[in-house]
């Protein structure tokens, strides 16, 4: 399967900028109109893509309505970040076709993917193969996904899983601390994982400040994802701006190494 349009865009932007910021929006947390306004503000502030999803989405209706509203207001890619079959709509540009590599439940390894695949083909979504790894506390994603989270003190274990994902053909690896995590993934863990990996590395969960984003990018994260901090921010545009700038600074520092 050749990289599609969105995947090619991501690689091009990564080549140009070194590291990127993505904005995660949960369609169940606000109306489609408000979600689309947030997406538009994130685009203005320099985010490179919108992720739409969450681990506890019960109904596909909100996903579809929010995706339509976002597409009407933005031009950066809209990528689905599904926690289950309820996360699919044809009104997005692509979907992270994810397997939760450290789940104990085969449903989250290959079961839900098999249920989703025919719909993804029918609606013409670009599927981007992604290995998803949950670390630390794991939050709701870890609980719902029957993950056996990799402890923060075991970076070589995280690196082994990430490399296994790459060898299985996944073209992105996502290290997840869980939405709203108190402690984001430590830079040392990111550094160890980066040192074995060739594909882009996404890091998310509990990132609240530019300083944290910068240190994670400097350690080797290619894409930083934030959701919760943007829901809580007084100015979403201001917060995304801070994170985007920090991501760029982190990439510059990494280049100098």
Question: Is residue 224 involved in binding ligand 1GP (CB under 6 A)?
Answer: no
Question: Is residue 24 involved in binding ligand 1GP (CB under 6 A)?
Answer: yes
Q: Which of 243, 251 has the CB closer to ligand 1GP?
A: 243
Query: What x/- string results for residues 160 through 179 when contact with ligand 1GP is judged by CB under 6 A?
Result: ----------------x--x
Determine the Cα–Cα distance for residues 39 and 20; give it in Å rounded to an integer: 16
Tell me how far, at minimum, the Cβ of 24 lies from ligand 1GP, in Å. Answer: 5
Q: Which of 206, 210, 220, 250 binds ligand 1GP (CB under 6 A)?
A: 206
Residue nearest to ligand 1GP (CB): 204
Determine the Cα–Cα distance for residues 11 and 128; give it in Å rounded to an integer: 12
Q: Which of 197, 225 has the CB closer to ligand 1GP?
A: 225
As a residue count, the chain comes to 257
8 A C-beta contact, residue 83 and residue 145: yes
DSSP code, position 87:
G
Task: Give the binding range for ligand 1GP (CB under 6 A) out of 6-14, 28-36, 223-231, 234-242.
Answer: 223-231
Q: Which of 205, 220, 241, 250 binds ligand 1GP (CB under 6 A)?
A: 205
Determine the Cα–Cα distance for residues 226 and 119; give it in Å rounded to an integer: 28
8 A C-beta contact, residue 34 and residue 227: no
Q: Which of 167, 225 has the CB closer to ligand 1GP?
A: 225
Question: Is residue 236 involved in binding ligand 1GP (CB under 6 A)?
Answer: no
Q: Which of 225, 244, 246, 251 binds ligand 1GP (CB under 6 A)?
A: 225
Determine the Cα–Cα distance for residues 245 and 225; give it in Å rounded to an integer: 14
Closest CA to 169 of 194, 126, 198: 198
> Is residue 1 packed enough to be buried (19+ CB in 10 Å), middle (13-18) or exposed (0-12)?
exposed
Using CB under 6 A, list all residues that contact ligand 1GP: 24, 141, 176, 179-181, 204-207, 225-229
């Amino acid at each position: 399967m050749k990289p599609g349009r969105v995947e090619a865009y991501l690689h091009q932007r990564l080549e140009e900028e070194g590291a990127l910021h993505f904005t995660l929006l949960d369609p169940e947390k606000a109306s489609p109109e408000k979600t689309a306004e947030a997406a538009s503000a994130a685009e203005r502030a320099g985010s490179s893509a919108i992720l739409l999803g969450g681990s506890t989405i019960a109904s596909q209706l909100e996903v579809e309505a929010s995706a339509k509203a976002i597409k009407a207001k933005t031009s950066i890619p809209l990528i689905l970040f599904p926690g289950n079959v309820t996360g699919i709509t044809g009104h997005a540009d692509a979907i992270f076709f994810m397997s939760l590599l450290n789940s104990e439940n085969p449903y989250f390894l290959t079961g839900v993917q098999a249920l989703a695949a025919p719909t993804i083909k029918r609606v013409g979504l670009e599927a981007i193969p992604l290995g998803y790894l949950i670390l630390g506390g794991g939050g709701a994603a870890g609980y719902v996904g029957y993950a056996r989270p990799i402890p923060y003190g075991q970076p070589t274990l995280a690196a082994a899983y990430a490399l296994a994902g790459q060898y299985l053909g996944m073209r992105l690896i996502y290290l997840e601390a869980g939405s709203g995590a108190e402690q984001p993934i430590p830079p040392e863990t990111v550094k160890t994982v980066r040192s074995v990996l060739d594909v882009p590395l996404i890091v998310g969960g509990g990132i609240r400040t530019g300083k944290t984003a910068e240190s994670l990018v400097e350690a080797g994260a290619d894409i930083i994802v934030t959701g919760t901090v943007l829901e809580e921010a007084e100015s979403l545009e201001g917060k995304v701006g801070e994170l985007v700038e920090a991501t760029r600074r982190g990439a510059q520092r990494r280049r100098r190494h």
